[in-house]
Amino acid sequence: MIISIVQITLISICGFFMLYLAILSILAYKERDIKSLQAQTKKKFVIVVPAYNEADTIARTLQNLLDVDYPADKFDVLVIADNCTDNTAEIAKKEGTKVMIRNNPEKRGKGYALRYCFDKMLQNKKKYPYDAVVVVDADSIVTENLLRVMNKYSEGGGKVIQGYLTVDSKPNVWTSEIIRIGFALYNYVRPLARRALGYPAGLRGNGMCFSMDVLEEIPWDAYSLTEDLEYGLKLLLHDVNVVFAPEAIGYNVVPEDAKNAESQRERWEIGRYPVLKKYFGKLFLTALKRRSFKILDTLIDLVTPPIVNLLVFSAVMSVASLLLWWFGIQQTLLYFWLWCGVIGLGIFHALLGLHAANAGKSAYRSLLYVPKYALWKIYIYFKILFKGRTSEWVRTSRENNS
């Protein structure tokens, strides 16, 4: 009896999350990109690049940003050299971009750098006469249509816009390929499905666009390890939608060596839990008070475990059910098949989601890396468990690709 109650409860919970993800894949598959980027007006943008000791990579990023397809008199690139001890600022000036230098060792991190920059611009609108600001990481590359896309969505009423964040395809590098698959499902499928419903896409930290009016009305005050997630929730509570713009693509740098990727993965894994703890009650009560499924959907998304975690747990439970049946507990055979159904929903979500994201054949082949990735994640969890959590931002280790 106890086994049945536990099994039914766990199957219901995991099945709910898997069904939710499968529905999002269907919605994303049916949603389409906009066909024309022609706009009646051209807003003035500033591309803000927060940088901490990025001397090895920032020149490439700035050259890419300066070459975007948009009138030169309608955008600037501005680097925030935040607590840098190298020559990041000098390189940025040499490339012809504007530079802000910030030194505050007690308050380090991207969130503090952005607040400093936004405050400066809002305090002196004559010096910084922009309609909107686009945030791009210092080690990223963007598609040349970045500002035309942001301008088009802005003309359509978008006050906060999020582009599609992914990584380059490297079929022989399992860390990069698995993260590319994860980004396709999380950074493309989920927000595109929400756009189809008229729901906010959420912020992803890179490729974000904010109107200056929004930054003035709702000042940036998110300083956690996942400052983008936190500010996105603040916008939601102020009834400001984050619009997803998949036509603008940003490519993140992901370390190829699993050892170098550990700090990045640790930050991603634990970063949302303090935010969840802080906002769960507020989101739940607000959803009830406003009778808002939009807020409830965001809350569901926030508590949904990573797809790999769900698949691994479901696989373990299906094997356990089969073993119990083998040892004579007959009813557990039904649970085995139910767990297989849960796994099937997860596979459906992944396959249709990758198709919707046009991830290419190599992404499907790279699904073979999932078991290896799952074991690596388990190692990361044990490392976090024994090392403890940190609230301080840690720079991701990088390979020298020069």
pLDDT tens figures, 41-72: 999 999 999 999 999 999 999 999 999 999 99
Least confidently predicted of 17-26, 265-274, 372-381, 384-393: 384-393
Report pLDDT digits (tens) over 298-338: 999 999 999 999 999 999 999 999 998 888 887 889 999 99
- Residue 396 pLDDT class (50, 70, 90 cuts): low
What average pLDDT does the segment 103-116 reach? 93
What average pLDDT does the segment 109-132 reach? 96
pLDDT of residue 398: 55
- Residue 211 pLDDT class (50, 70, 90 cuts): very high
- Residue 2 pLDDT class (50, 70, 90 cuts): confident
pLDDT of residue 253: 79
What average pLDDT does the segment 341-348 reach? 98
Report pLDDT digits (tens) over 152-190: 999 999 999 999 999 988 888 888 899 999 999 999 999
pLDDT of residue 402: 41
Please report, in angstroms and rounded to a whole number, the separation of the first and last CA atoms in the chain: 62
- Residue 273 pLDDT class (50, 70, 90 cuts): confident
Report pLDDT digits (tens) over 180-203: 999 999 999 999 999 999 999 999
pLDDT of residue 263: 66
- Residue 35 pLDDT class (50, 70, 90 cuts): confident
